[in-house]
Amino acid sequence: YDAWLGTLEGTGKGTIEGAGAWFGTVIVNEQHEVIESARAEWCKAAEELYGIQPSVSQTAGEGASGLLLGTFGSSALLDEALGPDASSAVTGPEGFLIRADRERRRIAVGAKTPAGVLYGVFHLLRLLRTGAVPEELNAVENPVNGLRMINQWDNMDGSIERGYAGKSIFYENNRITENLDRIRDYARLLASTGINAIAINNVNVHRYETMLLTKEYLPDVAKIAAVFRAYAIKLFLSINYASPLEIGGLSTADPLDPNVRAWWKSTAADVYAAIPDFGGFLVKADSENRPGPFTYGRDHADGSNMLAEALQPYGGLVIWRCFVYNCKQDWRDRQTDRARAAYDHFMPLDGRFLDNVILQIKNGPMDFQVREPVSPLFGGLEATNQVIEFQITQEYTGQQRHLCYLVPQWKEVLDFDTYAKGEGSPVKRIVDGSMFGSRHSGFAAVSNIGDDTNWTGHLLAQANLYGFGRLAWNPELSAEEISREWIRQTFGAEEQVVRTVMGMLMDSWSIYESYTAPLGVGWMVNPDHHYGPNVDGYEYSKWGTYHFADCHGIGVDRTVATGTGYTAQYKGRNAEVYESPADCPDELLLFFHHVPYTHRLHSGKTVIQHIYNTHFEGVERADGLKEAWAGLAGSLPDELHGQVAERLAHQAVHAREWRDIINTYFYRKSGIADEQGRTIY
């Protein structure tokens, strides 16, 4: 339950020499709820890690030992301990400095704001939990991204859209829960990774959720906001674009209608009266049957700017999602290409959004598949605030029953060169705001937690939640480093455990990819719930997600020469590389091209043989995960070991289902036998 903030029995306790002197006292002289959270986190951890209950004092003499906490200038002792360069080293409001003084056995954590102090304390704990000794504790950190946001897809009936870890911790029976303790513990977990914003309801806003903006529900929303505020996390709400109709008594939601504009202004006033530091609105509009400005012949700039004006007096933000496409497509229509949609809708609007509007763009052009190219809106839009949206919840990557550590996937996306300003224009420089000098920018992701005791269903899926926060703070961290941090804090320092779990995590995305949809083509899942193989599940449906397999070949032709022209949405070399079947990277070949089964990949294999090989190997590798974990029995508490073992056993069986259905399907379509004569049905 404590995840990476806890301590497993027998790991790490009391291992620091002189811990009593270093950690016996906390000196803090500011009254601020976030600093109070920082102090409380420290005291709780000191007890768990070292069996020390630190005494708290407001003042101390020159030579005092212990932990000094505070904002710059809050005490002369702190400023002296941090040294003269402290305020220049910490560049922004959320950065911090940690300085150790070996002689005095004193550690100072300082920042410009209470939030920075909180991040500093969590970082200090991370360092100690991962084996640092107090003498060496010197660190300066500044977050790379401004907005580091979590999106809950929780509904007020207690269900969670695409949730695989139990029910909502926020709602039950169409009310906000009274159990704020669980929410507080979630806030602690999030803040410890550096998250600073959260939208607490599903982007699909239904009847009850629409009413969160009303005076009946706002007092309860304010209670949740207060819990998050103590951890420096701003609260946002997803809103229903049709609210003026549904709860406002108006006959239209037209963004240019004066009554609609007035209604949103007065609603914003109500929200800010209840929650003065409210973050703003997250909006899914004109997307998958949700209402939006299109109904009134207006565009997304009209729609979002109207909301932005209402929030602007309070410093609120409108986060407007770009997941807009035709979800009622005719599968017979080969010209409409869902991959093109976001770019086609939003590129013409670049520069028209007010500066408190941010576009939230999914990492790929489709929908969080195990493999897709990067959305061409990154590098396309130049004059618009942007955040990248990832999906921590594993909708298409095994639903937390299969192991799939997603940090390596996110790293690839962030490092992708968009050529927006020529070579060396990676996505991470766009979403951190530096490439185009955006006023607001950052990361958002769909959470993977629910009320399961271990939060994420699959215990090892905690690494994805942890990893998202860490990557949002600093995209330069490697996937290995993040996994090592997470493992050491969660399972302790035993080398065999660290090595084994890290190996499992680092291989898991590639394993999952190998036995599911091949070469970037995506989908092949059962409709609706999206779990398990169904090659033609979406082939003749309205959702725009096709693979076009026939007896000759497979893949989607998205070229300019003969296909949908999608490749032209990329810049520079990317457009050329994707346009050419000879140059296109193997892993995306079927996303961009329709090729014969006998087409030879760069790997030297034909497409059909690649499909067979990867699916056979994938099952072996899934078995390997199970065996690797079995080797840790006895090194971890039985209960924890058992729950993961159970999921890995299911994964191994389910990987066979994937293998056999995919291999059989393509064997029957192509009539080409496996070179190695393995069993295909």
Tell me if residue 288 is catalytic.
yes
Query: Which residue do the tokens 């803040």 mark?
Result: 191
How far is it, in rounded angstroms, from Cα 345 to Cα 143?
Answer: 32
String of DSSP letters for 450-486: -SSTTSSSSGGGHHHHHHHHHHHH-TTS-HHHHHHHH
Q: What angle do CA 334, 339, 342 make, to 5 degrees?
A: 125
One character per residue 587-626, x = contact with ligand GCU (rule: CB under 6 A): ----------------------------------------
- Rounded to the nearest whole angstrom, what is the least distance from the CB of residue 594 to ligand GCU in the complex? 24
Q: List the one residue from 30, 135, 157, 161 that touches ligand GCU (CB under 6 A).
A: 161
- Rounded to the nearest whole angstrom, what is the least distance from the CB of residue 375 to ligand GCU in the complex? 13
Tell me if residue 367 is catalytic.
yes
Q: List the one residue from 39, 284, 429, 594 that touches ligand GCU (CB under 6 A).
A: 284
- Rounded to the nearest whole angstrom, what is the least distance from the CB of residue 426 to ligand GCU in the complex? 24
How far is it, in rounded angstroms, from Cα 190 to Cα 577?
Answer: 39
C-beta pairs of 497-505 under 8 Å, 24+ apart in sequence: 497/632, 497/635, 497/636, 500/628, 500/629, 500/631, 500/632, 501/460, 501/632, 503/628, 504/403, 504/460, 504/625, 504/628, 504/629, 505/403, 505/405, 505/460, 505/463
Q: Which is nearer to ligand GCU, 323 or 512 (CB)?
A: 323
- Which helix or strand (DSSP H or E) is residue 338 part of? none
411 is a contact residue toward ligand GCU (CB under 6 A): no
Q: Which is nearer to ligand GCU, 187 or 370 (CB)?
A: 370
Q: List the one residue from 176, 203, 318, 524 that touches ligand GCU (CB under 6 A).
A: 203
Beta carbons of 306 and 283 less than 8 angstroms apart: no
452 is a contact residue toward ligand GCU (CB under 6 A): no
Instruction: Please give the residues from 350 up to 369 whose contact with ligand GCU meets the rule CB under 6 A.
Output: 367
204 is a contact residue toward ligand GCU (CB under 6 A): yes
| CB-based contacts of 233, cutoff 8 Å, min separation 6 | 187, 190, 191, 195, 196, 197, 198
Catalytic-role residue among 79, 367, 417, 485: 367
Q: Which is nearer to ligand GCU, 284 or 428 (CB)?
A: 284
Number of residues that bind ligand GCU (CB under 6 A): 9
Backbone dihedral region for residue 516 (phi beyond 0: left; psi -120 to 50: alpha; all else: beta): beta
- Rounded to the nearest whole angstrom, what is the least distance from the CB of residue 338 to ligand GCU in the complex? 11
Taking the CA atoms of residue 600, residue 601, residue 605 and residue 607 in that order, the dihedral angle to the nearest 10 degrees is -80
- Rounded to the nearest whole angstrom, what is the least distance from the CB of residue 236 to ligand GCU in the complex? 15
Using alpha carbons, list the distances in angstroms from residue 167 to 307, 445, 680.
31, 19, 40
Catalytic-role residue among 288, 355, 476, 480: 288
Instruction: Please give the residues from 304 up to 333 whose contact with ligand GCU meets the rule CB under 6 A.
Output: 323
Q: Which of 198, 237, 205 is nearest to 221 (CA)?
A: 237
**What tokens appear for 561 in the block?**
């020469």
Q: Which is nearer to ligand GCU, 3 or 388 (CB)?
A: 388
Q: Which is nearer to ligand GCU, 284 or 647 (CB)?
A: 284
One character per residue 367-396, x = contact with ligand GCU (rule: CB under 6 A): x---------------------------x-
- Rounded to the nearest whole angstrom, what is the least distance from the CB of residue 151 to ligand GCU in the complex? 9
Q: Which is nearer to ligand GCU, 22 or 543 (CB)?
A: 543
Q: Which is nearer to ligand GCU, 99 or 345 (CB)?
A: 345
Instruction: Please give the residues from 52 up to 111 whose contact with ligand GCU meets the rule CB under 6 A.
Output: none
Q: List the one residue from 162, 345, 488, 654 that touches ligand GCU (CB under 6 A).
A: 162
One character per residue 219-258, x = contact with ligand GCU (rule: CB under 6 A): ----------------------------------------
N-term to C-term CA, the chain: 44
Q: Which of 522, 523, 520 is nearest to 588 (CA)?
A: 520
- Rounded to the nearest whole angstrom, what is the least distance from the CB of residue 288 to ligand GCU in the complex? 6
- Rounded to the nearest whole angstrom, what is the least distance from the CB of residue 515 to ligand GCU in the complex? 21
- Rounded to the nearest whole angstrom, what is the least distance from the CB of residue 229 to ligand GCU in the complex? 27
User: Alpha helices of 194-234 — where are they, by DSSP H?
Assistant: 207-210, 218-229
How far is it, in rounded angstroms, from Cα 23 to Cα 18?
Answer: 9
Q: Which is nearer to ligand GCU, 253 or 446 (CB)?
A: 446
Using alpha carbons, list the distances in angstroms from residue 331 to 59, 370, 544, 565, 592.
72, 23, 7, 18, 18
Q: Which is nearer to ligand GCU, 27 or 205 (CB)?
A: 205
Which residues contact ligand GCU by CB under 6 A?
A: 161-162, 203-204, 284, 288, 323, 367, 395
- Residues involved in catalysis: 288, 367, 395
